[in-house]
Chains A and B, each alone.
Chain A
Amino acid sequence: MTTLILILGVGLSLVGLLICIRLWLMSASQLNSKVGAMGVKVGAAIGLGVLPLLAIGVANYQTFEGVKEVSSCAGCHVMSPMVNDMVNKQSRSLAARHYNNRWIASQQCYNCHSDYGLSGTMKSKGDGFRHLARYVSSTYKEPIEFNRSGGFYDNNNCLKCHALTEKFQAVSSHSTLREHLASSESSCLNCHGPAHPTALQRTPGSKSYEALMQPPVLEASR
């Protein structure tokens, strides 16, 4: 789907560009003719108005949808440790177990890192933009730190899938900690282990840093 959207967007942009070039190359006499004047108006409306708007819409859709893919996250060098660990079948991190066991079928990064509902989507887009800005401006320091919701990962991102399962409800500690889990005061990671390589593993100079920073290799189907 996203590939089709991408082709459509590129096609629209090319058509708009061709119309603009054609208008640019029109001679004065062509411009002064009645047909030419009407053509310019229509062409300008399409080339400078309709098509760019369509292209922007398609581009936005492409951007909004495309960044949900793991490959998009993997595009930033600084995310390599998370992605490399996630696709590593030997890793026991939560991300790797969710990815390799296909507990989440697609868009694994986005699924865990976007809060529930429209505001959650907006928040994750805002965060994505912020991360991009920091990345391209090199205003970040390794190891990067999770810094949303008061430094706490929002447990509701786990609970939205797990809370209603029988398995979850059978664990007495979930009931003991229900208020703390709902407010994210207690982290799900306390009992279920780290989600990603630890800060120390992602620190330049650490033993595992070089391996984790290799460009991730993703399976085509994911």
Chain B
Amino acid sequence: MGENESGSKLDRREFLMGLAAIGGVGVLGAGSWGVLEAMVPQAKAASWHKSVCRFCGNGCGVMVGMREQKVVAIRGDFEATNKGFICVKGSLLSSLNTAGYGGNGSGRALKPKIRREDGQLVEASWEEAMGLVAEKFTNAIKTKGKNAVAFYGSGQLLTEETYTANKLFKGGIGTNNVDGNPRLCMASAAVGYTQVFGKDEPAGCYEDLDKAEVFFITGANMAVAHQPSFERMKLTRKANPNSRIIVVDPRRCETAEAADIHLHIRPGYDLMLLNSMAYVIIKDKLVDKAFVAQHCKFARMVPQLDAEGKPLLDEKGQPLPPKEDNSLSLEEYGALLEDYAPEKVAERIGISPYQIREVAHLFAKSNGTVSCWTMGINQSSRGTASNNMLSALHLLTGQICKPGATPLSMTGQPNACGGVRDCGALSHLLPHGRLAANPKHREEVEEIWGLPKGTIAPGPGKHTIAMYRAMETSEIECLLVMCTNPAQSLPAGERYRRAMEKGFMVVAEAFEDSETAKLAKVILPAALWIEKEGVMGQTERRYQLIEKLLEPPGEARSDLQILVDLAERLEGAGVIPAGLIKSKVPKEVWDEVRKMSAKSVYNYEGMTWERMQKEHGIQWPCPTESHPGTARRYMKGDPMMSNPDLDIEFYGQPDKKAKIWFRPWVNLPQEPSEKYPIILTTGRILEQWHTGTMTQRIKELDEASGPATIEINIQDAHERNISEGQMVTIESQFGKVQGKAKLSTGPRKGVCFAAFYDPKVFVNAVVSDAFDPMSFEPEFKVTAVSMSLAEGSVSPRS
């Protein structure tokens, strides 16, 4: 023991007390720690699962918090491509699977239903319902032929489901009558890319939004329709004082409000603006000549004429279709654009020549320009041409194939890119960039699917509008509609609702009170979102897995189960080859799809199910399991290039050169007239997605959006004595609709706007069903209408 200077000793007792004191302090510390650890509350979510938002084509990764078989929380997935950003709709995904079922107690389809002859829907067993569907389809095929049946799918089905439907109808039944709502959405972008690059799907990615300097947004209200991506843009804008956001829109919409430059153009005049910008780029020597010379060629369509300049005729005496001309030089291309000098066209576009020049210079000379567009460009009879010209601006200026510079079409639906465009589930397509009209492509697909040569019908089937017109005439007798609501989303809606009622329409849908389900002869209850599993592919060629976390309610089944059941019954009836649909569960189908992709430049064979479970989305091309995926196509790092040492190669085209198209202006199908002096344009709002089938059931979103309104320019309203909140009637040659007036300075004078989510304000009844001659996408954005106070609605100033 120690001894101090005064001679006193630290005895044993004192030593032990010292030890006890030290121990006591230690125990106190550890005890406090333990108490504090115990005070940490139990996590609300027992487990977190990565998933994908069910709504738009932004394809945001979300984390789903689960406890006791319930979704208790939703978070943006920080590791996913959206970097954790999601919108208000995504934030409320936790209510989706209980909305209308256990929530407000109505709407969710729980049992199959069959419409009796008296028009009443009655519950049925799956056996009865599917037996009836198979019988009707078999009879139609046997009596009227393969093209008497059709499939109308959706960019919301999982990839495995769309692929199986496409294979069943095109490979099994032998009809190319396979189309879907992406025809109303991205068809112009898909055809546009194919014409320019030889293959569909964008070259760039969302990461380009972080690296760009100038954003050129045209025909897209991204602040409400693709909000997470727009938030990224705004962050980039804030971080760089030279950055500019340019918005082209006939409405001063939410995106325009946040922009540096807003071109408030007349509806439908995008193509004229893009041509004028191309003119300025060439005239003011803003062309990247080296890039153009090395990687591009010019293209235009010319009529086929004889030596005297008269049209050449076919054997029926009809003029031969125009032929592609690739002989143009840059100078000749520039000369074709002379008619689009800003001073000549600015007034028609509705802006000043200065604005066109300013935007063209910003576009061309920035350190990186990203163009984003969606329905404002695509849903137009000039949709494909405008898509061509957007790509042309990037190619002329070399604003492509480098980080922060790309044309990037924003997709409308969560799996339109993956399931429908990649898997070729439109009437003119076959999987992975193949065309139904191309005999070699058909043979390739027949070989992969193990079908005899000639099984796949030559040439395109019926596109959406043609399909419903064929129902009108009973040319198509049976239609299977899956996971979409065409009775609300088609243009000239009343006409096609009547067509749907006429035929034998089967609707597989999660909600039995959707406008389409109300017209169905058979309703098949379908699983929704995380009640089933499968892969979704979004805007930037990224595939992501949705894990099954909930059991479907009632007797609902996944759409894949429904398709497999139908295939087995049709096989039994002898109308499809035996053993065609071998893959019957999602993983098997995905394996088949990705192995098939390996025989194309879409190659994503390396995206195994196991990788998809682990990783937060992978971008194709991804040819091997060790490949990390490809952020940007057609440039160094893209594994599909013929030579990895090349910097750039547009390998989708046979000569590896992208096409810079000349697309002359074509007059709008509808211009304001005395009878219809106003142009109606349509779109989305932040809280509602698509036809509102899901989002209108979520209380918070429904309350926030309220009923759809008709947004009217204040000058137009004053001229007609219309006040805020009054009921107005909008009428076109296609139909009419009534809604509450919302007075605004947003739309240009002579323009009104309505969102299409609300079935009670059926605005698509009024919308024109004219369509693009190349993509067959309807003209939703420009319809000439009349506008007046609704009967009985008295103006306070009248």
Point out residues on A near B: beta carbons under 8 Å: 24-25, 27-28, 90, 92, 126-127, 129-130, 133, 147-152, 172-173, 175-177, 179-180, 185-187, 189-194, 198-200
CA distance A167 to B84 in the complex (A): 22
B84→A194 contact, CB < 8 A? yes
- A sample of 27 cross-chain residue pairs with beta-carbon separation below 8 angstroms, ordered by A number, consists of A24-B4, A24-B5, A92-B239, A126-B36, A127-B36, A133-B29, A147-B40, A150-B43, A151-B44, A152-B44, A172-B704, A173-B87, A176-B88, A176-B687, A176-B700, A176-B704, A177-B91, A180-B92, A187-B76, A187-B91, A189-B76, A190-B75, A190-B76, A190-B86, A191-B88, A191-B91, A192-B231
Which one, A150, A177, A190, contacts B44 given CB within 8 A?
A150
- Nearest chain A CB to B627's CB is how many angstroms away? 17
Cα–Cα distance between A1 and B45 once the two chains are bound (Å): 43
Complex CA–CA separation, A199 to B83 (angstroms): 12
Tell me how far the C-beta of A34 lies from the nearest C-beta in chain B, rounded to whole angstroms. 19
A198 touches B79 (CB 8 A): yes
Q: Are A147 and B36 in contact (CB under 8 A)?
A: no
| Pair A190/B85 contact, Cβ less than 8 Å | yes
CB-based contact A177/B88 at 8 Å: yes
Interchain nearest-CB distance for A218 vs B (Å): 22
Known: A149-B41, A199-B78. A130 touches B33 (CB 8 A): yes
* Complexed CA–CA distance, A186 and B698 (Å): 15
Question: What separation, in Å, do the CA atoms of A152 and B41 have in the docked complex?
Answer: 10
Give the distance to chain A from B688, nearest Cβ to Cβ, in Å. 11
Chain B nearest Cβ from A87, distance in angstroms: 16
Q: Are B75 and A187 in contact (CB under 8 A)?
A: yes
Centre residue among B29, B40, B87, B686 by max chain A CB count within 10 A: B40
By a CB distance below 8 angstroms, the chain A residues around B88 are 173, 176-177, 191
Q: How far is the CB of A142 from chain B (nearest CB, A)?
A: 16
Query: Could you say which of B39, B74, B85, B239 contacts A191, with CB atoms under 8 Å apart?
Result: B85
| Distance between Cα atoms of A190 and B87 in the complex (Å) | 7
Query: Is B239's CB under 8 angstroms from A130's CB?
Result: no
Instruction: Give A130 to B36 CA distance when docked, in angstroms.
Output: 7
* Complex alpha-carbon distance, A133 and B37, angstroms: 10
Contact B79 A199 (CB under 8 A): yes
Q: Which of B65, B91, B210, B239 neighbours the largest number of chain A CB atoms within 10 Å of its CB?
A: B91
Q: Contact: A190 with B91, CB < 8 Å?
A: yes
Shortest Cβ distance from residue A166 to the other chain B in the assembled complex, whole angstroms: 15
B235's contact among A129, A172, A193, by CB below 8 Å, is which?
A: A193
Please name the 8 residue pairs, one residue from A and one from B, whose CB atoms are nearest each other, closest first. Answer: A151-B43, A176-B704, A173-B88, A198-B78, A150-B44, A133-B33, A130-B36, A186-B91
CB contact between A190 and one of B39, B90, B700 (< 8 Å): that residue: B90
> Known: A172-B704, A177-B91, A198-B78. Is A189-B43 also a contact (CB below 8 A)?
no
Q: Is chain B's interface secondary structure helix, strand, loop, or mixed overall? A: mixed
Q: Does B32 reach chain A (CB closer than 8 Å)? A: yes
| Contact surface of B with A, Cβ cutoff 8 Å | 4-6, 29, 32-33, 36-37, 39-45, 65, 73-76, 78-79, 83-88, 90-92, 94, 210, 227-228, 231, 235, 239, 686-687, 700-701, 703-704
A206 to chain B, nearest CB (A): 11
Chain B neighbourhood of A129, CB < 8 A: 32-33, 36
Min distance, Cβ A207 to any Cβ of chain B, angstroms: 11
| Nearest A residue (CB) for B85 | A193
Interface contact B86-A173, CB-CB below 8 Å? no
- Nearest to A90 among chain B residues (CB) is B239
Collect the chain B residues with CB atoms within 8 Å of residue A90's CB.
239
- Per the bound structure, the CA–CA distance linking A126 and B65 in Å amounts to 27
Q: Could you say which residues of chain A place their CB within 8 Å of the CB of B686?
A: 172-173
* Inter-chain contacts of A192 with B (CB < 8 A): 85, 231
Contact B45 A193 (CB under 8 A): no
Q: Which residue of A lies closest to B685 (CB)?
A: A172
**Separation of A194 and B82 alpha carbons in the complex (Å):** 10
How far, in Å, is B717 (CB) from chain A's closest CB? 23
Given A130-B33, A191-B86, A199-B78, residue A176 in contact with residue B701 (CB < 8 A): yes
Minimal Cβ-Cβ distance residue in B for A130: B36
Complex contact A147–B43 (CB within 8 A) = yes
User: What is the distance, in angstroms, from A133's C-beta to the closest C-beta of chain B?
Assistant: 4
Q: How far is the CA of A173 from the CA of B90 in the complex (A)?
A: 12
CA distance A176 to B686 in the complex (A): 11
- B60 to nearest A CB, angstroms? 10
A92 to B235, CA, bound (A): 7
Residues of A contacting B86 with CB < 8 Å?
Answer: 190-191
Which residues of chain A come closer than 8 Å to B32, judged between CB atoms? 129
Given A130-B33, A200-B79, also A152-B73 (CB < 8 A): yes
Chain B residues, Cβ within 8 Å of A172: 686-687, 704
Are A28 and B6 interface neighbours, CB within 8 A? yes
On whether the beta carbons of A150 and B42 are closer than 8 Å, the reply is yes
**Inter-chain contact B5/A25, CB cutoff 8 Å:** yes
Q: A179-B700, A198-B84 known; 4 other A-B pairs, CB under 8 Å?
A: A152-B73, A180-B91, A190-B76, A193-B231
Residues of A within 8 A of B210 (CB): 92
What separation, in Å, do the CA atoms of A188 and B339 have in the docked complex? 51
Q: Which residue of A lies closest to B79 (CB)?
A: A200
Chain B residue at minimal CB-CB distance from A175: B704
Q: Specify which chain A residues have a CB less than 8 angstroms from the CB of B36 in the assembled complex.
A: 126-127, 129-130, 133
Q: Which residue of A lies closest to B84 (CB)?
A: A194
CB distance from A94 to the nearest CB of B (A): 10
Known contacts A180-B92, A186-B92; A193/B44 CB under 8 A: no
Give A145 to B701 CA distance when docked, in angstroms: 31
* Residue in chain A with minimal CB distance to B235: A92
Instruction: For the complex, give the distance between the alpha carbons of A129 and B36 in Å.
Output: 8
A185-B73 contact in complex given A92-B235, A193-B85, C-beta closer than 8 Å: yes
